Amino acid sequence: MTLPQDPTLDEIRLALAPYVAANAAFDGWSARAVDAAAAALGLDPAIAQIAYPGGPIEMIDSWFASIDAEMLDRLPPERLATMKIRDRIAGLVETRLEIVAPNREALNRALSILAMPQNAPRAARLGWRSADVMWRAAGDTATDYNHYTKRGILAGVYAATITVFLHDESDNWTETRAFLARRIEGIMRFEKAKAKLLGRDTHRLSLSRFVGRLRYPAV
Give the tens place of pLDDT for each residue, 39-67.
999 999 999 999 999 999 999 999 999 99
* Domain definitions of the chain by residue range: 85-201+208-215
Give the tens place of pLDDT for each residue, 124-169.
999 999 999 999 999 998 888 888 988 999 999 999 999 999 999 9
pLDDT value for 169? 93
The rounded percent of the chain whose pLDDT value lies above 70 is: 88
Of the two residues 206 and 152, the one the predictor is more confident about is 152
The rounded percent of the chain whose pLDDT value lies above 90 is: 73
pTM: 0.84
CA distances to 13, 46, 83, 116 from 122, in Å: 18, 26, 32, 10
Of the two residues 206 and 155, the one the predictor is more confident about is 155
**How sure is the predictor about 2, in pLDDT bands with cuts at 50, 70 and 90?**
low
